[in-house]
Amino acid sequence: MVARPLLALLLAAAPALAAQSAGAGTGADPLGSRSMGSATAPVTVYEMSDFQCPYCRRFALDIFPQLKGPYVDAGKVRWVFINFPITEIHPNAAAAAEVALCAGRAGKFWPMHDLLFKYQTTWAPLRQPGAFFLSLADSARIPRADLKSCLETQATRKEVEADAAAADRAGAGSTPTFYIEGGLLVGAQPAPVFRQVLDSIYAARTAPARR
């Protein structure tokens, strides 16, 4: 699949990523804890996103729910989240990304993903958002002590940095940006735009081979 170069790039750029994710119980798949859908789906989408970005919030809360059922749940698309915190304008984004990755080690990446975006307007303006982030552990059903311990490790920070470097090298210049089978789709486009792109690529991927 054409999308594999980004996965290869992530592995080449950050060998620790595979080890950390494997330690989280995701087996040989370094991105398993933050992917959704079948690993053998014909189409893979890499969402390069920033938890403090309002456009990313719009996509996560309003647009992605329209795509999840007919594409991810249906087995057509594997959806992978790549952290791309733009800290120059979103000072709390990297910390939020660490929270999400730590939640992923407990098998709770997507519940924490949803909570971070849901309460973005609450934590984004905070000078010290750490206490609020820890409070989200209860809603995500993660022991606070486990989340706190994970957040204190340098490995989590390096994982976020590796994500951001890979996203930058893949061509992302803003968030959200989507790497879909060799091409980039930029911005929180309306659901019909995603449907058109995904349907076209899926049809091409699953078309019978010519004899």
Can you give the residue ranges of every domain in the chain?
A: 32-206
Q: What band does 210 get if pLDDT is binned at 50, 70 and 90?
A: confident
Taking residues 43-71, what's their average pLDDT?
98
Residue with tokens 């992923």: 104
The 10s digit of each residue's pLDDT in 4-22 is 444 444 443 333 333 333 4
Determine the pLDDT at residue 21. Answer: 36
- Selection from 51, 42, 45 nearest residue 31 by Cα: 45
Determine the pLDDT at residue 23. Answer: 42
The 10s digit of each residue's pLDDT in 144-191 is 999 999 999 999 999 999 999 999 998 999 999 999 998 999 999 999
Kindly provide the residue ranges of all beta strands, DSSP E only, lying in 87-176, ordered along the sequence. Answer: none
What class has domain 32-206? alpha beta
Cβ atoms 21, 31 nearer than 8 A: yes
Distance CA 126, CA 96 (A): 12
Determine the pLDDT at residue 103. Answer: 98
- 49 forms beta bridges with 83
Taking residues 37-51, what's their average pLDDT?
96
The helix (H) or strand (E) run that includes residue 177 is strand 177-180
